[in-house]
Amino acid sequence: MIILGINDVGHHNSAASVVIDGQLVASIEEERLSRIKMDNAYPHQSIAEVLAIAGITAEQVDVVALAGLSRWDQKPYVDTLFHYIAKVAKQEPDIKKFYWQQQPARITRLFKQRKKPAGVLAEKPTQTVEHHLAHAASAYYASPFANEKVGVITLDGVGDFSWGSVWLGEHGQLQQVDYLPYLNSIGLLYSAITIYLGFKATRHEGKVLGLAAFGNPEPLLSRLLAHTNQHDWHELFDPRLARIALKFASEVGQSALRELCDDLSKEDVAAGIQVYTEQLICDWIQAQVQTLGVRQLALAGGVFANVKLNQRLLALPEIDNIYVHPNMGDGGLATGAAYEVYARLQNGLIPKLQPHVYLGTEINRENALAALEKSGLTYSEPENLSYTVAKLLAAGKVVARAAGKMEYGPRALGNRTVMASCQDKAINLWLNEKFARTEFMPFAPVIIEEQAQAYFPDWREDHVTARFMTLTYDASAIAQKNIPAAIHVDNTARPQVIRRVDNPAYYDIINDYYQLTGVASVINTSFNMHEEPIVRTAEEAILAFQAAQLDALILDGFLIEKNFLC
């Protein structure tokens, strides 16, 4: 059975995915084709691309799965939300005015007739999957917890009038436990502070996380906790914080934040919201796992892009293991919708770990060679490419790799990656200047699995989510000595633990570098210029290589070096 999943009603990250007989075989976000960061246009290009990647035609699709609500007969989420709005509005007329004047128009837009895919797909049967159920399905059905009872939790800014949900996953079925109305969204509060600090909401929350390591959390933390009801997550904030969260981008919300934070440094504000987020969510999840009777968690939603939070969750004594869906944000909704519809039609779907994330457009010998000949660049085809590249890295060169199928999700995991030695901290400044990136952000390392525990003692072989760069670990003394450029100021790093079975050509480069230098890790950063999507095609890789003036580019099996540029 072939399911086409589509995310088309969100605020960002429209996407398409193909699930065949319960297995995800192709997925891509519209931004990678349109080249517009976090594009929310209808994913016509993505739909065509995933069909091509999967090697199928539109006629072969059995069902189209749509992520997100679209009809008024699915409005209990709206009713629940308005119940809480009415309660808060008694104390905050400002919120009541905002909702009563603006929300009806917003709801009308959301529930209007949604666009249809082109051609024969418009006539296919369709099913709709609520936003947080799609997130939950993406996490549960792709998790490694096939034979276990699993707690499935989703948290984000907002989706379909909720900011979170709780599910019990068991025997290939998801059972709803709770929904959290977005009146009390920690995700939106974090976004409000992202804007306050001069960054872009839904895009730069990671910069707040990076900045947090430089600050003192206590001043803001105490103020936030004073306005928090830790006993009822349905009514988490008092009206002051609810106003900031709900109106995070407006002058009203930002004015309230200035009152709260104006005497604090940016570093202390970032540290305060980060520790607040960790503390509240960890406390709440501890209660959830005890109630559900589980020790494994499957997680999705944009809040779980926060890798430091994920480290804290994994360390909780009540939890044995976590799985964070590799495309945890709204780019993963198309996948979750497809999984959920397949599970409905097949009376369940036993979880099976997604073995890899190389699900996008492919750079192969044929299209790489065509792009090189068109560019006029001089290139070579080394017999032992991995050893040749390892020697370049050992000599301090910066090498991009664009080969094979593009990664699914926000992380570059070897196929659209820039590599550099982690041994000299000066490389961070050089890379930031080349890619116009923020100077305080840490660069992440990739490390061969055989050496992962020596560098990150808390890592375990069953931490499969570390293969996708979705949590941080404390660094060992060896890591601090050998890869200081990849260790953040708080002594953590966000590694990609690479196994040869997952990506042999990429693994071999790191392993050959290890044999040459005794260091088992290099920097792995995404291959894109600042504020641009990760490169997709061979042509885009060549343009980015030239724009950044890197030392070398791997394009499938070819190697282009800077000193050979025409």
pLDDT tens, 298-319? 999 999 999 999 999 999 999 9
Per the model's pLDDT, the better-predicted residue between 276 and 85 turns out to be 276
Residues 305 and 364 in one domain: no
Q: Is the pLDDT of residue 110 over 70?
A: no
**Position 531 confidence tier, pLDDT thresholds 50, 70, 90:** confident
Structure tokens at 77: 């989420």
Query: Per the structure, how many domains does the chain have?
Result: 2
Residues 315 and 363 in one domain: no
Taking residue 232's Cβ as centre, other Cβ atoms within 10 Å add up to 8
Among the three residues 281, 309, 324, which one is the final residue of a domain in this structure? 324
Residues 498 and 374 in one domain: yes
**CATH code, domain with 223:** 3.30.420.40
Are residues 146 and 350 in contact, defined by beta-carbon separation less than 8 angstroms?
yes
Residues 304 and 247 in one domain: yes
* Residue 545, domain member (yes or no): yes
Rounded Cα–Cα distance for residues 247 and 231 (Å): 24
Cα 4 to its chain centre, rounded Å, is 21
Cα 325 to its chain centre, rounded Å, is 8
Residues 387 and 449 in one domain: yes
Residue span of the structural domain in which 316 resides: 182-324
Residues 305 and 385 in one domain: no
Residues 297 and 429 in one domain: no
* Residue 331, domain member (yes or no): no
Q: Is the pLDDT of residue 565 over 50?
A: no
| Radius of gyration of the chain measured on its C-alpha atoms | 23
Residues 474 and 414 in one domain: yes
Q: Is the pLDDT of residue 455 over 90?
A: yes
Are residues 490 and 508 in contact, defined by beta-carbon separation less than 8 angstroms?
no
For the whole model, what pTM was predicted? 0.94
Residues 274 and 379 in one domain: no
What pLDDT digit, counting tens, does each position of 325-380 carry? 999 999 999 999 999 999 999 999 999 999 899 999 999 999 999 999 999 999 99
What pLDDT digit, counting tens, does each position of 474-502 carry? 999 999 999 999 999 999 999 999 999 99
* Residue 305, domain member (yes or no): yes
Q: Is the pLDDT of residue 55 over 70?
A: yes
* Residue 549, domain member (yes or no): yes
**CATH code, domain with 379:** 3.90.870.20
Residues 318 and 413 in one domain: no
